[in-house]
Amino acid sequence: MNSLHGHPRIFAGNASRRLAADIAAHLGLELDKCEISKFSDGEISVNIAESVRGCDCFIIQSTCEPVNDNLMELLILIDALRRSSAERVTAVIPYFGYARQDRKAKSHDPISSRLVADMITVAGADRVLTMDIHAQQIQGFFKIPMDHLVGAPTLATHFLDRIKNGSSDDFVCLSPDFGSVSRARHFAHQLMDCPIAIVDKRRPRNNVSEVMNLIGDVKGKHVLILDDMIDTAGTLRNAAVAVTEAGALSVSAAATHGVLSGKAIENIENSPLSELVLLDTIELPEHKRSPKIKVLSTAEYFARAIECVHNDHPMTPMINSLYDQVCN
């Protein structure tokens, strides 16, 4: 490893302790010690319990619910490590909150994801490592390097065996909206070039969607709905109902981030879905678990990415090797 920094130092925020421990284990390390607590008025307190002078530090913290608390934890952890003379600080944000506020949808709207990017930079992060950010342009909001991982290889591996046991023509990859078509097409390519279909939806207000049209043939097919995140699962439920009514034999879904807010679990359990596969970028509490939900680990993936950053190796060959493993 890079002798300049020794081995990577891995710190966990409260949102991602389980994932951080798994990442550290894949690196043959233990989590570094830090104490995160709250004062009586709700302010967050962070104490780094050991020296990090001259070290290469990685903070594992998704900015999921409670979003603002977890974001502040991340910012304060960055500041604490910077003030403790860490040589480099990388914010590893498996799920990047505020990513859906990436533009002015109407007059006088903020661009909150740009503000969050500025806050992370000003706090002292040297680079950011994230996965399947909702809007690609957010990479341009940062003035520091940002490495962007994709969850598709891990998700594709889960479904590929059942496709290999049948025919790719028996399966359809469904995009839940026009904005996700390129993602669905790329995913379908990994699934032995199975055909794709598209849901034309309208969103009358936030967190509410309506299926208007189904573009593509799903009759007599096994349908796999792909999205980057599942929030209230309203879109997912409506899409599953639409393809079932159109004659689909079965409906499964896959997504990188399980936000699962509001009535998400109710929507999932009351839908025709047979399975929802998520990655562990957001830890699911017990009340958000369901027999229909399966969670896959990203720990080895993030560990390999951290090794690339630590050793100043390019990320692309590592990501390409994952795609090659799926395709072969």
The secondary structure of residue 33, as a DSSP letter, is P
Classify 142 as helix, strand or coil.
Answer: coil
Phi, psi (rounded to 5 degrees) for 279: -95, 165
Q: Are the C-beta atoms of residues 264 and 285 closer than 8 Å to each other?
A: no
Q: What is the pLDDT of residues 57-95, one digit of tens each?
A: 999 999 999 999 999 999 999 999 999 999 999 999 999
What is the rounded average pLDDT for all residues in the chain?
A: 92
322 has a pLDDT exceeding 70? yes
Residue linked to tokens 């969850």? 151
CA atoms within 13 A on the CB side of 150: 20
User: What is the reported pLDDT for 161?
Assistant: 79
274 has a pLDDT exceeding 90? yes
- Please give the positions annotated as active site: 201
Q: What is the pLDDT of residues 38-62, one digit of tens each?
A: 999 999 999 999 999 999 999 999 9
User: What is the reported pLDDT for 3?
Assistant: 45
Q: Are the C-beta atoms of residues 191 and 171 closer than 8 Å to each other?
A: yes
Q: What angle do CA 216, 184, 225 make, to 5 degrees?
A: 70
- Distance in angstroms (rounded) separating the CA atoms of residues 95 and 99: 9
pLDDT range class, residue 5, cuts 50, 70, 90: low
Task: DSSP for 63-78, please give it.
Answer: --SSHHHHHHHHHHHH
- Distance in angstroms (rounded) separating the CA atoms of residues 300 and 257: 17
User: What is the reported pLDDT for 320?
Assistant: 84
Residue linked to tokens 């034309």? 200
Tally Cβ neighbours within 10 Å of residue 54. 12
> What is the rounded average pLDDT of the residues 227-240?
93
User: What is the reported pLDDT for 1?
Assistant: 42
Q: What global pTM score does this model have?
A: 0.92
Residue linked to tokens 């591996």? 157
